[in-house]
Amino acid sequence: MRSLDEFAGEKLAALERAQLRRTPVVTARAGIWSERDGRRLLSFSCNDYLNMSQHPDVVAAAIEATARYGVGAGASRLVTGNHPLYAELESRLARLKGTEAACVFGSGYLANTGIIPALAGVDDLILIDEFSHACIHAGAKLSGAEVHLYRHADMTHAEEILAAHRTAKKRALIATDGVFSMDGDLAPLAALSALAQRYDAWLLADDAHGLGVIGGGRGSSFANGSRAEVPLQMGTLSKAVGAYGGYLCASHAVIDLMRTRARTFIYSTGLPPPVIAAAIAALDIIERDPVYAAEPLRKARLFARYLNLPEAQSAIVPVIVGATDAALAASELLRDEGFLVVAIRPPTVPAGTARLRFAFTAQHPNADIARLADIVRMRVLRH
């Protein structure tokens, strides 16, 4: 239809003018290497922090599950898609996170857009750290609850909102990334937990970038050897676990509620058996080898030290460039030096904070990290 194509074309032209048009680039991955446009690049943009997506044991588990159960789940989990591997994965996740139960969703995005509306509605209040992932914001919007953003990691601001609005609302939920995906810092989960308890609010931490990396692999609720009281521990199996799928670890009652009320659980097909088998195999390795799980953070710290940046708190280190065109130019410069570091632009990050986002994996050689840091220091930061 003409009006439809005109609409799309005008939108695209406006995005192009603002340098905000995005296009997927074909990328073939082999370990820490990525091939793009015929060039082999050392990737610092994959969230495969433990390189599990290509680990021989993980790949073998996926192949074996495919041979045994087939490729697809065939239906939603409440129909016939609840194949036998789910129970094993869920009990492992609950064990790792120290909760009574766990529930696996189709993806992290589907998890948050299912969990939040199953817990909160029009009579309720939701507080969100402003830098939280898009799927937390989407889940909150879908719930119909009154949503307030608090300034990033600002406990005083969060408390002001609770003091002003909590009593007028039936229930309250505080939602935050555990590790912030574009900044790499950790949420103040212990302080958030205390605040939540003072105001009878429920705390949800999205540990997409913490599982497998922080706290001996158990995630950001276990950072620095302590344990924050987080009743809703959500995350994804697509990053350090190297597979796909989202999860919630919580009490029996909450998990049972998800299984019967979360719309993204009920109305979406179960995950393919090989994906679940791969996640189980990867969790096996993570549980067995916390020293390996500590490697991405060690590498990120090394890089941050070379650049005199604040100590890295996770496997993610941002270098804020500012303008979108400068971030794109810096990414191209690194590509010409053999590195893949994708520029992150608004609206993923606030206007004026376009950046290079470096993601470190266990297998990045130290010598390459040093060379990358040298180039960034001299040619991007210019000091």
| Residues in touch with ligand PLP (CB under 6 A) | 107-109, 133, 135, 177, 181, 206, 208-209, 236, 238, 246
- Decide the pairing of beta strands 125-129 and 146-150: parallel
Please work out, in degrees rounded to the nearest 5, the angle formed at the alpha carbon of residue 356 by the alpha carbons of 237 and 244.
10
Least CB distance to ligand PLP at residue 308 (A): 27
CA atoms of 216 and 52, how far apart (whole Å): 16
The three-point CA angle 251-253-254 to 5° equals 70
Compute the least distance from the CB of residue 188 to ligand PLP, in Å: 16
Catalytic one among 34, 45, 132, 181?
Answer: 181
**136 vs 372 by CB, closer to ligand PLP:** 136
> Of the two residues 217 and 246, which places its CB atom closer to ligand PLP in the complex?
246
DSSP string spanning 171-204?
-EEEEEESB-TTT-PBP-HHHHHHHHHHTTEEEE
- Paired tokens of 145: 């609850």
> How many other C-beta atoms lie within 10 A of the C-beta of residue 221?
27
* The token pair that represents 31 in the structure block: 């370990």
Check 137, 148, 239, 364 and give the catalytic one.
Answer: 239
Residue with tokens 């505080």: 174
Q: Which residue's Cβ lies closest to ligand PLP?
A: 108
Measured from the CB atom, is 41 or 175 closer to ligand PLP? 175
Closest listed residue to residue 250, CA positions, set 101, 119, 87: 101
Which C-beta is closer to ligand PLP: that of 185 or that of 307?
185
- Candidates 209, 220, 221, 238; catalytic one: 209
Q: Which two tokens stand for residue 129?
A: 């750290």
Residue 309 structure tokens: 């940046």
**Closer to ligand PLP at the Cβ: 338 or 346?**
346
| Least CB distance to ligand PLP at residue 86 (A) | 16
> Is 143 considered catalytic here?
no
- Compute the least distance from the CB of residue 128 to ligand PLP, in Å: 12
Please give the backbone phi and psi of residue 81, each rounded to the nearest 5 degrees, phi first: -85, 5
Specify whether 239 is catalytic.
Answer: yes
Cβ proximity to ligand PLP, 137 vs 301, nearer residue: 137
**Catalytic residue list contains 181:** yes
For 285-312, the DSSP string reads HHHH-HHHHTHHHHHHHHHHHHTTPPPP
Minimum Å gap between C-beta 239 and ligand PLP is 7
Crossing angle of helices 56-69 and 273-288, rounded to 10°: 150
The single residue listed with the structure tokens 């590509």 is 335
Nearest one of 160, 158, 159, 164 to 176, comparing CA atoms: 158
Q: Measured from the CB of residue 238, what is the shortest distance to ligand PLP in angstroms?
A: 4
Q: List the catalytic residues.
A: 181, 209, 239
